[in-house]
Structure 1
Amino acid sequence: MNIEIRERNIDDVNEFCEFLNKLDDEAEYMLFEKGERNISKERIQKNIESVVNDGNKCYIALTNGKIIGYIIAVRESFIRTNHVAVVVAGILEEYCSKGIGYLLLQNIIEWASANKVKRLELTVITENERAINLYKKCGFEIEGTRKASTLKNGRYYDEFYMSKILEG
């Protein structure tokens, strides 16, 4: 399988909308329930523009021109915390466990290192062992647990806070 990793751009609006709809339909551990996210081409276009304008970064993974995954890092906007970026990633289920998440994370880590980001942080459902193992492989450490932070199908789930402190 040939995988391309590149920055998301304004030409990706339509494909990214389709990708997010599919991701929300199938992702067991993502934040949004099926149909909950307000996805419109206008909203995605504004998001793409604001990511660039605010100094954040979003990469997409593609195969045969089709978006199959993404990762975004959003920096804190305050002077005292501008060295911190929150990371969110998602990959379509059929493409998981193929090294795509690792490639996306490496791109974000390289971007962060080159842009004075000292700390990357994220949350992950404690039962999502596949993602936790990936984050640990990339140098993230568990810092704590958010008890009963997510509700799905009438059941509460805990989340780990994880972070990676970058050198330099």
Structure 2
Amino acid sequence: MTPTIRQIQLPDAEPFRACLDAVARERRYLAQVEALPIERIREFVESSVASDAAQFVAIHDGRLIGWCDVFSHWAHALQHVGTLGMGVLDGYRGQGIGERLLRRTLAHALEKGVYRVKLEARSDNARAIRLYERVGFRHEGIARAALRFDGRFHDAVQMALLQGPAAERAI
């Protein structure tokens, strides 16, 4: 199976929301436990399309099965910093889809001037952490009790990738 990886489009709003909601309801991979209402998701996708955002989706047999995005900070001195978000539907994980999404999204983020990409992953999400390490993310710390699901606290691994001019300056 080789899904198509492409930039998000306006008609993707509803399928994107469905995919986001499915991953969120697993209560394991995302900070949210359900997707925002479709009106908010439509606005989000419209904004992404209008700004040529680094937001990509994976499509297999007409179904949106995953996404990856990097959004930069609004403050001037931090505009080179982006935050990564991604998810792949259960049943499609472990097939290289996440890595393809991630690499394509990072390349577009670099084109947009995002030279530092940061993320937080739940510390027990070993598969995601291995993916991020494989792509070049480095561990920067642990945020203790960063997430809370159903009354239970979870630590989060903080990671970052330097690319472009930032990577050249890194020691």
TM-score by length of 1: 0.91
AA partner of residue 36 (structure 2) = N
Paired position in structure 2 for 1:166 = 163
Query: Does the 8 Å contact 2:17/2:35 carry over to 1?
Result: no
Q: Distance in 2 between matches of 1:81 and 1:140?
A: 19
Q: Distance in 2 between matches of 1:56 and 1:90?
A: 17
SS in 2 for 1:2: coil
Paired position in structure 2 for 1:73 = 70
Q: Percent identity?
A: 29
SS in 1 for 2:25: helix
Q: Is the aligned partner of 1:39 residue 2:37?
A: yes
Report the CA distance between 1:2 and its aligned residue.
Answer: 2.5
Let me know the Cα RMSD of the aligned residues: 1.5
Report the CA distance between 1:8 and its aligned residue.
Answer: 0.7
In the alignment of these two chains, the number of paired residues is 165
Q: Distance in 2 between matches of 1:102 and 1:150?
A: 24
Q: Distance in 2 between matches of 1:13 and 1:103?
A: 21
Question: Which runs of structure 2 are paired with 1:9-24 in the superposition (5 Å)?
Answer: 9-24=9-24
SS in 1 for 2:87: strand
Q: Is the aligned partner of 1:135 residue 2:132?
A: yes
SS in 1 for 2:110: helix
AA partner of residue 44 (structure 1) = I
Q: Distance in 2 between matches of 1:6 and 1:115?
A: 16
Mark the runs of 5 or more structure 1 residues left unpaired by the alignment.
none
Could you tell me which of 84, 87, 98 is aligned with 2:81? Answer: 84
Report the CA distance between 1:23 and its aligned residue.
Answer: 2.0
Runs of 4+ residues over 6 Å off in structure 1: none
Query: Does the 8 Å contact 1:55/1:75 carry over to 2?
Result: no
Report the CA distance between 1:79 and its aligned residue.
Answer: 1.1
Query: Does the 8 Å contact 1:2/1:64 carry over to 2?
Result: no
TM-score by length of 2: 0.90
Paired position in structure 1 for 2:8 = 8
1:25-60 deviation per Cα after TM superposition (whole angstroms, max 9, x unaligned)? 335221122xx43321x2221001222345532100
Q: Distance in 2 between matches of 1:159 and 1:51?
A: 27
Could you tell me which of 148, 151, 155 is aligned with 1:151? Answer: 148
SS in 2 for 1:95: coil
Q: 1:52 to 1:77 in 2, by over 3 A?
A: farther
1:107-131 deviation per Cα after TM superposition (whole angstroms, max 9, x unaligned)? 1121122122110110001110000
